[in-house]
Amino acid sequence: EAGFIALNAGMASGAEAVLVPEHPVDLAALCRHLEESHRMKKLSSIVIVAEGAAKGADVVDYIKEHTYLSPNLTVLGYVQRGGAPSAYDAIMAGRFAQKAVDSLLAGTYNCVVGLINNRVVATPYSEAEALRYPIDENLLSLVHLLGR
């Protein structure tokens, strides 16, 4: 239901476009964008499709049917999504583990440990389900601008 992970992946990878569930998917506009990039001598393009925005296979099929381009589909697995852990990842793992153990020792159960406002917190599942992480609209615009 949220495209913030796909958006950050798109920015980090230099994607031409990121399709997110927060915005209606306009495949015709995507095709025009990709053809324009190709006319500008770009040899390849990356399109990130967030879960909930569209099905990657449907996007590939649409591009094949409506352009002269030959897209390929890659569905990333869990290991590929994360990549090699960084120093930051190792530090956060330790901080999350400490919060989990401290919560259990304090008698607090049925929580998810995460980072909210740069603080490690244990949030009850019932509250966590209601949390929403809106995408950064400026970052989405920037991805598409840089993808030209």
Quick: pLDDT tens for 96-133: 999 999 999 999 999 999 998 899 999 999 998 888 87
Q: Which residues contact 113 (CB under 8 A, 6 or more apart)?
A: 96, 99, 100, 103, 120, 121, 122, 123
User: How far is Cα of residue 19 from the mean position of the Cα atoms in its chain?
Assistant: 9
pLDDT in tens, 8-45: 888 988 888 999 999 888 999 999 999 988 888 888 88
What 3-state DSSP class applies to 73? coil
Q: Does 131 reside within a domain?
A: no
Domain count of the fold of the chain: 2
| pTM metric for this prediction | 0.73
Q: Does 128 reside within a domain?
A: no
Q: Does 61 reside within a domain?
A: yes
Domain that holds residue 17: 4-81+136-146
Asked if 90 and 75 sit in the same domain, the reply is: no
Residue 80: its pLDDT value, please? 57
Asked if 13 and 54 sit in the same domain, the reply is: yes
Asked if 25 and 50 sit in the same domain, the reply is: yes
Work out the number of other CB atoms within 10 angstroms of the CB of residue 85: 10
pLDDT band at residue 146 using 50, 70 and 90 as cut-offs: confident
